[in-house]
């Protein structure tokens, strides 16, 4: 395969791997670079960025400024500054292919006449306007409605301008076909992958708990999510309250940061779960895998828009079984493993019931639980190795 000059255009950065979008972008860039391709990232400059360009794990990330004050200023600054930065990058080189990962950077580049004949691939993690509605559930103003319409139009434009579209799940593919009338043969499902060398089972789960100062409880649960409404974290906290009332000795650790932090803290206090639920904050990649390793079960409580669920396969790669709500990509992942690990719905009661059922089943069957953990790891190795899935992306990007 001929080495190519590839630009990944994104609305997120690989500087801090805050969520699934950042981790997919990082792993793809790293894989392509290791295969000998020249890989660059074009993205917006965040408050946490000290400079306008930076080399991260060998990947050159170029950044442009935005004005986040209001939607109009944000959009105009994105288009103007992204285009200016792109033209600067093209002064000394020519890109063979551009891989978009989110819609706003895609809009800016697609509007340039200079990119008319450049091959373009769009990786759709989720639908932008749905994410916006989910993050702003109480906004019913005219401005909010216009924001939704604009996001739909921008995303539709960028998808139509792309030669091929990559999605991480059949769930997202179906949404694109239904929402934007994208032709089915233009879309390829390439599931998210996991670095199985980084995310490995613990040699001694109790030793990892000691290292993290985790109490040696009979049942330890873990989840890591952006602290936003669609993640269902409030329902999970309420499920822990139900479990405690049933006498189940459970501790829950929640990794991540976001706008729900104070609301979750208040709920934990209201339900008197200070000794049972811990908000861990942002977990670095160097720490995250240890939290996966130390848990008895990983819980994915999403209530809507689970495009794939990268954390699900990361946890399973660490040999930690996952219980998840029957939403989006989670259905696809766990149906191929064991459907009995899907909650019947997204309610606190449904979560509490299945967690209690699985705990009761495995608590006195260490050999059976060990086998379950081993099967989870093997399932990910077989189906979600990043080496294999990134190879599929490479073939799409480099196809003639």
Q: Determine the 3-state secondary structure of 224 from DSSP.
A: strand
Pairwise CA distance, residues 254 & 259, whole Å: 14
pLDDT of res. 375? 98
Query: Structural domain boundaries of the chain?
Result: 5-193+385-398, 205-383
Whole-number Å distance between alpha carbons of 200 and 129: 36
C-alpha pair distances (Å), 19 with each of 13, 28, 107, 157, 226: 10, 14, 22, 25, 7
Main-chain dihedrals φ then ψ at residue 394, nearest 5 degrees = -60, -45
pLDDT at 28: 93
Q: Which positions of the chain have pLDDT values less than 70? A: 137-139, 400
What distance in Å separates the CA atoms of residue 207 and residue 213, rounded to the nearest whole number? 10
For residue 70, the model assigns a pLDDT of 83
Please state, in angstroms and rounded to a whole number, the distance separating the CA atoms of residues 290 and 205.
9
- 3-class SS of residue 277: strand
**What pLDDT, on a 0 to 100 scale, did the predictor assign at position 138?**
66
What letter does residue 371 receive in the DSSP assignment? H
């790669």: which residue's tokens?
317
- Geometric angle at alpha carbon 265, from 260 and 269, rounded to 5°: 145
Which residue in the block uniquely carries the two structure tokens 């944000």?
74
Which fold would CATH assign to domain 5-193+385-398? Rossmann fold (3.40.50)
Q: Which residue's entry shows tokens 């848990």?
A: 295
The encoded tokens of residue 135 equal 């993050």
pLDDT at residue 272, rounded to an integer: 97
Bridge partners of residue 8, in order along the sequence: 41, 99
Task: Read off the pLDDT of residues 136-167 as tens digits, 9 standing for 90 and up.
Answer: 766 677 778 888 899 999 999 999 999 999 99
pLDDT at 400: 64
Fold of 205-383: Rossmann fold (3.40.50)
Return the exposure string of 19-48: e unless at least 16 CB atoms fall within 10 Å of the residue's CB, then b: bbbbbbbbbbbbbbbeeebebbbbbbbeee
Q: What angle do CA 213, 217, 220 make, to 5 degrees?
A: 85
pTM: 0.91
Residues 6+ apart with CB under 8 A from 315: 222, 292, 295, 298, 322
The 10s digit of each residue's pLDDT in 36-89 is 999 999 999 988 888 999 999 899 999 999 998 788 898 999 999 999 999 999
């Amino acid at each position: 395969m001929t080495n190519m000059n590839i630009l990944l255009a994104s609305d997120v950065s690989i500087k801090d791997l805050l969520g699934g979008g950042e981790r997919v972008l990082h792993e793809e860039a790293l894989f392509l670079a290791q295969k000998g391709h020249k890989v660059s990232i074009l993205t917006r400059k965040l408050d946490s960025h000290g400079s306008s360009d930076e080399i991260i794990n060998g990947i050159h990330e170029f950044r442009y400024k935005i004005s986040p004050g209001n939607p109009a200023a944000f959009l105009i600054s994105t288009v103007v500054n992204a285009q200016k930065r792109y033209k600067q990058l093209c002064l000394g080189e020519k890109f063979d292919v551009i891989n978009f990962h989110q819609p706003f950077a895609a809009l800016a580049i697609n509007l340039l006449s200079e990119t008319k004949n450049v091959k373009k691939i769009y990786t759709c993690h989720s639908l932008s306007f749905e994410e916006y509605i989910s993050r702003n559930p109480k906004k019913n103003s005219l401005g909010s409605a216009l924001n939704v319409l604009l996001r739909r139009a921008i995303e539709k434009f960028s998808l139509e301008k792309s030669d091929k579209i990559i999605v991480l799940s059949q769930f997202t593919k179906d949404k694109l076909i239904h929402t934007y009338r994208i032709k089915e043969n233009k879309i390829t499902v390439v599931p998210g992958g996991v670095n199985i060398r980084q995310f490995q089972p613990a040699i001694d789960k109790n030793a990892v708990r000691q290292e993290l100062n985790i109490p040696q409880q009979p049942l330890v649960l873990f989840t890591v999510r952006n602290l936003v409404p669609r993640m269902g974290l409030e329902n999970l906290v309420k499920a822990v309250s139900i479990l405690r009332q049933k006498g189940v000795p459970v501790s829950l650790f929640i990794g991540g940061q976001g706008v729900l932090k104070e609301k979750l803290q208040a709920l934990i206090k209201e339900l008197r779960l200070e000794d049972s639920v811990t908000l861990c904050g942002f977990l670095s990649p160097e720490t995250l895998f240890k939290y996966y390793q130390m848990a008895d079960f990983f819980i994915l409580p999403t209530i809507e828009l689970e495009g794939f669920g990268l954390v699900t396969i990361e946890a399973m790669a660490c040999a930690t079984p996952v219980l998840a709500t029957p939403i989006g990509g989670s259905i696809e992942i766990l149906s191929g493993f064991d459907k009995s690990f899907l909650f019947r719905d997204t309610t606190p009661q449904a979560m509490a019931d299945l967690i209690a059922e699985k705990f009761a089943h495995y608590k006195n069957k260490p050999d059976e639980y060990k086998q379950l953990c081993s099967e989870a790891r093997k399932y990910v190795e077989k189906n979600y190795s990043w080496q294999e899935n990134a190879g599929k992306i490479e073939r799409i990007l480099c196809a003639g």
